[in-house]
Structure 1
Amino acid sequence: MPRLSSTHATSPFIWCAGIICAIISIAVIIGGIVIFVGYMVIHPRVPIISVEYAHLDLLKYDIVGVMQTQLTIVIRAENDNAKAPALFDKTNFKLSYEGKIIAYLKQDEFVVAKEKSVFSHYVVQSSPIPLSTQMKQAIDYAIKQDVIVFELKGGSKARWRVGPVGSVKFECNLSCELRSGTDWLTPPRGFPWLACEQGSDPALYQVNPSPT
């Protein structure tokens, strides 16, 4: 018996699709190699967000249970990379006391040059804050202990350009406790102090009070 043989040729459309997929795959591989080589050449250090300075300018608390406060906070954005500037975007922080948000700190997109730092100054003034029973107890205790603690949390998104085709992105998060004495007649005594930077457990940052 005669055997049947297939005479169907591969469709030109399939050949074109295969060639296009091969070209895309090669382009992706080459792009990845370029980004990797660029990253290794630059060998960057991770951008850093930290509290450079904090100052308790005002603290008022009356018997009704209403608190007003004002703090000056300086945030430092540091770029130790010697070969590429860093772009910081979506910079947002929340300042709170006993879980109650006092203020939001925001900043527009900005660039930090190679091996440079940018300092952002915030003067945070709260509206009169009615305190809950728990917060009243907390501030009464703080006054007795001569120390009040505010929480600062937030961060920024940073990125570098790596070569002409790619970028490296970083998430810079910050979580701090800002501490200050409540007795304006004497400076804070014996409070722990650590530089408050990203990438670690909540740190303690001492705030210098000003006399009234």
Structure 2
Amino acid sequence: MPSNPKFSSGNDERRTHRLLWCAAIICTILTLAVIIAGIITFLGYVVIHPRVPYVSVINARLDRIQLDYAGVLEIQVTVVIRAQNGNEKSHASFSHSGYILSLNGEDVAKLIAPPFEVSKNSSVDFNYDVQSLPIPLDPEQAEDVEVALKTDLVTFDLKGSTRVRWRVGPLGSIRFLCRLNCKLRFHPLNRTYIPSRCTSKAK
């Protein structure tokens, strides 16, 4: 016997349409909520205008630099790095702080610090006393150091970063990376530091 044909009822189609409409409405509401939250966050940031914590080199000293006849270099440098939090209503947390001090492409030392907190509208200074192990230089590098000593200008590269987290009023917690990438210049004859701007950039 031939089978009876099956027909879908109009009620099933109406139910499907209703589910699709409900899903579309929910997606629209969620999208609007995200947009509104973004606008509120932006406006709140503009109104509060918090001061972003940062790190900077505030002082340094070339305690010792010696190059022997075999091209072996020995260095002792003091670097003072300050973590600054200019916010009056929130403390800042700093972690994973690490910086590489190098001369003519040779790493002299790594400057590291454990996690620490900086109170509201305050700062913390880290005094790094860097004493390198003897560094054997190739002839070209040794010649560059000799020229720097004769011209009374030695330049170190300082690169690194620290992670910062702090609370911005009602906006919640914000995390970012403070990067340092600058040059530290010294007069080796009197071991003095030539002050220059060395302040982190946030990312």
| TM-score tier (shorter) | 0.7 to 0.9
Which deviates more from structure 2 when the two are superposed, residues 38-47 or residues 119-128? 38-47
Out of 94, 105, 110, the residue aligned to residue 111 of structure 2 is 105
Structure 1 match to 2:198: 196
For the Cα contact (< 8 Å) 1:35–1:162, is it kept in 2?
no
Structure 1 segment 1-212 matched on structure 2, within 5 A: 8-11=13-16, 13-14=19-20, 17-163=23-169, 166-183=172-189, 186=190, 193-199=195-201
Kindly state the Cα deviation for residue 161 of structure 1 after the two structures are TM-superposed. 2.0
For the Cα contact (< 8 Å) 2:53–2:164, is it kept in 1?
yes
Q: What CA distance in whole angstroms lies between the structure 2 residues aligned with 1:111 and 1:27? A: 34
- Aligned residue for 2:184, secondary structure, equals strand
**Count of aligned pairs:** 192
Q: What CA distance in whole angstroms lies between the structure 1 residues aligned with 2:126 and 2:22? A: 55
Matched AA of 1:104: K
For the Cα contact (< 8 Å) 1:72–1:122, is it kept in 2?
yes
CA RMSD of aligned residues (A): 2.9
User: Which structure has the larger Rg?
Assistant: 2
TM-score by length of 2: 0.78
- Aligned residue for 2:14, secondary structure, equals coil
Kindly state the Cα deviation for residue 87 of structure 1 after the two structures are TM-superposed. 2.7
Q: Deviations over 1:144-201 (max 9, x none)?
A: 1223221112222334323456334444222222222323xx465xx853242235xx
Structure 1 unaligned segments of length 5 or more: list them. Answer: 200-212
Q: Deviations over 1:96-138 (max 9, x none)?
A: 0001111122223332222111112212221110001221101
Q: What CA distance in whole angstroms lies between the structure 1 residues aligned with 2:104 and 2:58? A: 23
For the Cα contact (< 8 Å) 1:35–1:166, is it kept in 2?
no
For the Cα contact (< 8 Å) 2:50–2:87, is it kept in 1?
yes
Which deviates more from structure 2 when the two are superposed, residues 102-111 or residues 50-59? 102-111
For the Cα contact (< 8 Å) 2:55–2:199, is it kept in 1?
yes
TM-score by length of 1: 0.75
Moved over 4 A (4+): none
For the Cα contact (< 8 Å) 1:85–1:112, is it kept in 2?
yes
Identity rate, percent: 43
For the Cα contact (< 8 Å) 2:58–2:82, is it kept in 1?
yes
Is the helix fraction higher in 1 or 2?
2
